[in-house]
Structures are given as C-alpha cells and as structure tokens.
Structure 1
C-alpha cells in the first residue's frame, strides 16, 4: 500500500488541489470560508460566555483572554473533528469514483487527510493573525505545534478510517458519530477550563483522549508551556495501534466495499 501511495503521489496531490478548488467554485470569498466558519464559532462563544468565564482564566495577561483560549482549543478540536467527519463519509461519497477508476483505494484517506491538513494550516495562519491583532504573541513553545498537528491528524484519520469502513456496511454509524462528536466537544475543555469544575470531576474529564491534545495546544499557544508529554506519549502509542488496526480493516474490507456501494 505504501509503495502504491508513492507511485500515485501526483494523483494524490492533484486530487487534494482539485477538491479544494471545487469546494469553493463560484464562491466570492473562496478559501476564506475554511477559516470563517471556525472563527465565527469562536466569536459566538466569546460573545456569549466571555463575561462568565474570562475571570477564571489565570495565566493569560490579556483582556481578550477568553477569546484567545477559545481559538487555541478550537484549532486542535477542528482538526480532529474534520478528520473524523470527512473519513466517515469518504467511501460513500467516493462510491462512483471507486467503481469507475482503477487506483489504489488507500489514496482516498490520504487525499482526505491532505485536504483536512491544508484547511487547518490556513486556520492556524488566521489565528496567528488574530492573536497579533489582540496583542498576544506565542513564545518558542509554538515549535511543538507541528508535532501536535501530526498526532491529532493521525488519531483522527485512524479512528475515521475504521468508522468510514463500518459506515459503508452499517449506515447507522454515520448517524451516531456526529452525536458522539458533539458530546465529546462539550467533554473537552475547549470552551471552558477544567479549573471551574469540581475537583472530583476533573479527574474523569482527563480520560477523554482529546484532553491532552487540546490542553497541549493551549499550553504552547497561550501559556508558554510545553505539551503534556506523558499523556501525549500514551495517546501516540494508542494512535499507532489504532492506525495499524485501521489499515488491516481497510485492506480486508476494500474488495467488498465497492459491491456494498
């Protein structure tokens, strides 16, 4: 499969480019929509909740502390949620392509990962611009950001690939996953800080696999602290196993998916 990816590398690159172009064809703002949506969500939450939570964000010396906190957490969460959501419908949306063209099917999740990563990089650049406008400049800890983005993307695509294969054969999966993602969003400290929760509940929230990722994004972008390496190490090991399982499931199910579609 990896040899096939190398042979079809130009097909993958052109597919990523074409998908990004087609998404915004006839759109006046074009690629700006990729960053407008998450930033609009940040603006809504900041407007509604900033007065309630801004006073409970120690360590951020900025009057826009809550908006900065939201953007840092949103960056990590958006990469994960978009990766899972895109992989979930990947094979169903590509059904006609899989039936009409002969190409390694493993190219499809790689193309999806490339599109999601480009979206997130554009969002990152926009967030850096907003940070500068609000008077906040991340320190050298930001160099860990590429590692965090890679781990988040691998975790999302490993999970999403398994769910995408299952969704081909059991369409109920596609209905359940968005609900689970919405629940995970509120169980992840994106719009609130764990310090506002009762002490006996904080421990349980840390079992959420997205907690160390989002908290690490907040550390490097806001607090000038290193990522949570211990928790991320455990997550990285679990992600490696998850991706291996995903590849095995994908390879075994690939011949049957075309018939099911």
Structure 2
C-alpha cells in the first residue's frame, strides 16, 4: 500500500500543485487583507511572546549571546508551518469530503496539496524573517542553503504524518478535536520558547531531542544563528528512520480505513 500511495502522489504531482494554489486562494478569499493575514497573524504571535518574555520573564536578557528576539523568531518560524501542517493535515480529508464522496479522486493526494499550500506561506515567512535578521546585522550566508534540506524534509515528514492523522480524523471527530486541543501543549513541551540546554538531566534532554519538532526548530536556529550543518549531529539519521517508520504505519492505517471514508463522510 505504501508504494501505491507514493505512486499516486507522483503520478498526480501536477494536479497537486494546482490544487495547493487553489487551497491557498480559498483560505484567504474574502478577507480584506488577503494574503497579508499569512504574515500578520504570526507577527502578532511573535510580538506577544516577545513582550511576555523580554518585559516580564527574561527582562531583555540575551540567549546564547544572541538577541532574545532573534533566538525566539528563529524557533517560532518553523513552528508556524508545523502547527498549521498538523491541524490542516488532520482535517484535510474531511475538509475535502466532496473529493471522496462525489468523484473518483486520488484521496492520498489531499493531505499533500493541503500541506503544500501551507508551505507557500512558510516560504514567504522565511523571506520576511531573513529581512528582520538583516536589520539586526545578520546577513544571509552559505548556511541558508540548508533550507533546501530542512524545508522539504519538514514537508515530507508532516505529509506522511497526515496519512495517519487525516485517516483517523475521518473516522472520529474526537481525534480531530484532540489534535487541535493538544497544539498549545505541544508548543510548550517543545524547546521553542525555552532553551533545551537549560535541562540539567541528560536523560530528559535526550528524550526531548527525540521530539521531531525539536529537530526542525534546532535546524532553523542552526541556519540563522548557530551556523551549524545538519550532518554535524546524529539526529538527521534518526529523523529519516522515523519518517520511514511513520510512512509504513501511515500506509497501513490508510489502507485499513480509506474504504470507509465515503460511508462516514
């Protein structure tokens, strides 16, 4: 079944790209600010956290020798895509139920084009954040090339995750609600707003680093701040092994449930 899903996605790649564009247009259609909302919402979120931490908690103290604002922004940048990808991927098949119930359609491509539309926003955010770094005197360098690794890897990871989450959400609305309600907890449990180096227990630190979201957060910070290559650590091998495992699990779940989609929806 895994090969069937992969073949279906590769065969319909042109259609997926067109539907991703249509999904993006649909999401912001009718809004007065249009696509600007894709940037306004994240920037407001960053501003709120900066105020809370710099004025209240940290009182402007730097993080690892870098301005705390830049350290926070670099970690929040992938989170905006990750949070949207998890929720949208979970809701994707149910949101496009007409493709499941009223026509013959490659259902496994639905999470792909939905998450690809979120990726377009992430690419625009990367440009905006890079300009903020330039204003602080941090200019693009060769380490920015790693975006060509982290961004596609992040997209692949969450598309594969959506095979499981999207399938379960079709069968159970409770699962969809569980995912939505868990996002805030996931944000605080991931070292995005706090530094994982402050964890004193080596065992706990190792467990926290196994969180795949942390891999992408650290990756972005390595690009913008720490200037490290993705192959310098051991977790790149781990993340690709995890992708393979999740792909197998996702294909099994999808195979067991996809025949029931039309009846449930």
TM-score normalised according to structure 1 size: 0.89
Q: Deviations over 1:133-188 (max 9, x none)?
A: 23322432121122111222222222222011111112211121123332221111
Partner residue in 1 for 2:128? 126
- 2: CA distance between counterparts of 1:50 and 1:184? 22
Q: Which runs of 5+ in 1 are unaligned?
A: none
Matched, 1:225 2:231: no
User: Contact 1:39–1:71 (CA<8 Å) still a contact in 2?
Assistant: no
Q: Paired residue for 1:135, among 114, 134, 137?
A: 137
Instruction: Determine the C-alpha separation between the residues in 2 that align with 1:160 and 1:3.
Output: 17
5 Å matches for 1:45-60?
45-51=49-55, 52-53=57-58, 54-60=60-66
Count of residue pairs brought into register by the alignment: 257
**Map of 1:149 onto structure 2:** 151
Q: Distance in 1 between matches of 2:93 and 2:53?
A: 38
Q: What is the RMSD of the two structures over their aligned residues, measured on CA atoms?
A: 2.1
Question: What does residue 72 of structure 2 align with?
Answer: 70
Instruction: Measure the CA separation in 1 of the matches of 2:127 and 2:221.
Output: 16
Residue 61 of structure 2 aligns to a residue in which SS?
A: helix
**Structure 2 residue aligned with 1:174:** 176
Match of 2:263 in 1: 259
1:233-253 deviation line (CA, Å, top 9, x unaligned)? 101111122123212322332
Q: Deviations over 1:69-117 (max 9, x none)?
A: 1111112222222111111111111112321122211221221121121
Residue of structure 1 in register with 2:34 after alignment: 30
Distance in 2 separating the partners of 1:8 and 1:96: 18
Looking at structure 1, the residues matched to 190 and 11 of structure 2 have their Cα atoms a distance apart, in angstroms, of 40
2:160–2:243 Cα contact (<8 Å) kept: yes
